Structures are given as C-alpha cells and as structure tokens.
Copies of this chain bind each other. A is one copy, B any other.
C-alpha cells in the first residue's frame, strides 16, 4: 500500500502502521556521509540532484513509508535577508541577529520562487524519482522556532534574548512573526504546488514557552499559516518538542496530525487532542541505541496505547542522532510493520 502514510494522516484504515523518521536522511547513514564528505549541508540542499539522492537514501535502505525532502528549516532566512552558516560543531550562526524594529523592517517577505526555487526544483525531481511509489513530505520551520534562531543568532538554552524581545517589544515581535508566518505560508503552498503530498511544520523549540505565552505571542501566527494550508487537500503535521502542555493549543492553531515527543504518553496526548486529528510519534530517538529487548518493549507500549486506532503515524519524538545504528532504524520499520499488520 504505497499511500499508507497519507491514509493514516487522514485517519483512514491502513494495512499496517506507517513509519518514517525525522532526520531519516542524515549522518547515521554511510551513504549520506559519503556525499557530505565533498559537500556542505547547504550545498546538498541547493543542488536538486544531491538533495534528491539524499532524500531517497533512507527510502531505499530503510523501507520507510514516506520520503521527507532534504532541506533545512533555516533556508528561507537567507533570501529574506538574514544569511547564516553552519559553524563546525556549533550549529547555525546567523551573521546579523534580528533584534530591533529596523532589523525586522529590513527583512523581505519573499515569494518562494525568488530565492528558494532550488527547493521547489528538488521536490519536482524527487517526485519524479519516487514515481508514485512513496509519498513525499515537504516541511518548514514554524515562526517561533525561526524567530528564536534569528534573534539569538543560533541555538539557545534559555531563549532569553527571544523572550525579552517578545515581552518588551510586542509590536516588533508581532511584526517579525507576521513576516515569518507569511513567508512560511507561501513556502508551504509552493512546496505543495511543486508536488509535496504532505507537509510538516516544525515548531521544534516552542515548548520553551508557557501556554499563556503561546496564546498571546505564537498561536495567531501559526494559525495564519495552517488555516490556509488546511484549505488544500494536503495533510499537515504540526510538530513540536516539550509541548506536553501546549498540545490542545497547537491543535487549535491547525494541523491534520499532531506530532508528540516522547515525554507525553501517546494515548494521553490523543485523548486530549480528540478524534479530529491524527497523531505522530513518539519513541525517544535514543531508544534506537538501546538493546532490542528494551527497544521492542517501548515500541510495544506505544502500539498498545494506540490499540489499532486509525490515524497513527509511527515516528520518533525528535530526529535521529548521528551515532545511531542504521540496523536499528531498519529494525524499527520492520518491527512496527510486523506488529501492526491488520
């Protein structure tokens, strides 16, 4: 069943539970490292042939039920006027962090064709290569997560500069979030037009906020994106980490499927979310490194909590880490398929 992932997104019956992994194309695979030896991450993103090759690697090697576009959530920042680089071992560094009204005013609300055409080219090329055998997921970073990188200048532990701007200069904050959410909305629409059959919105760091902050400073902007994307027929996965107390608010902002990290038991999450959405998750990525006995015990626990309900997409609570064994990834795909065969 080529479309079991898409059917699960729509909460339709499937022959077995679909499986894919965040960062399923990445450094844990020798095939990926071979390409990275001669190309930076950004070079791979910008050359559709390479992005296509890397996107397809885990589909071939692991038997996952969906391909996900190889790209980075920060790509839109460069054409918006905020160039960045990946410093060795440090993650992204934004050259000129955005912290003032003038910085925000200088950001361009781009059309994806201007500056992100290479992503759309990659999507078209991947769709041709997949040839209808596996669906393709597009994605974008959510406005808070993008804003946190822009404001902090990179990864942060307390999001102190971000929260200070948000609290002290709400007009500047909302102007920034307005620009980001409009770019993300256009970008996801363009990905869908180019051929993405589902999209995931990564609000990876939004769990650093209280529910009150989420309602006041985040939700309207996420809603701007997702209520528009929901008018297409394409499923949207709305994902975050540390979001145990935000799940209902995220659902209300939009999404066909809600992504849940490993902190929340998946049945409790789904009970709170109700029957109107699917659910994706939620194995701790580090369990891929656990002995098989423990790994299967924790997978069984997730499947038992789901108890055959339609609308579950098996995934991790966050991305695969570089040191993970490819064997373990392949094992999980097969094991979940085997255990959920109807």
Contacts and interface: CB of A to CB of B under 8 A. Distances in A.
A291 B168 contact: yes
A323 B158 CA distance: 12
A307 to B, nearest CB: 17
Interface string A12-26: 000000000000000
Number of copies: 2
A160 B321 contact: yes
Contacts of A244: 244-245, 263-264
Interface in A179-235: 207, 209-213
A158 B301 contact: no
Contacts of A159: 286
Contact of A284 (B163, B262, B289, B321): B163
20 contacts: A155-B157, A158-B286, A163-B289, A164-B286, A167-B286, A167-B287, A168-B289, A168-B290, A207-B263, A210-B265, A210-B284, A212-B298, A213-B284, A242-B242, A244-B245, A244-B263, A244-B264, A245-B263, A245-B264, A245-B265
Interface of A: 155, 157-160, 163-164, 167-168, 207, 209-213, 242, 244-246, 262-265, 268, 284-287, 289-291, 294, 298, 301, 317, 321, 323
Given A242-B263, A244-B264, 7 more contacts: A158-B321, A167-B290, A211-B265, A212-B298, A242-B242, A244-B245, A245-B268
The 8 closest A-B CB pairs, nearest first, are: A167-B290, A244-B244, A163-B286, A210-B262, A244-B245, A245-B263, A164-B289, A245-B264
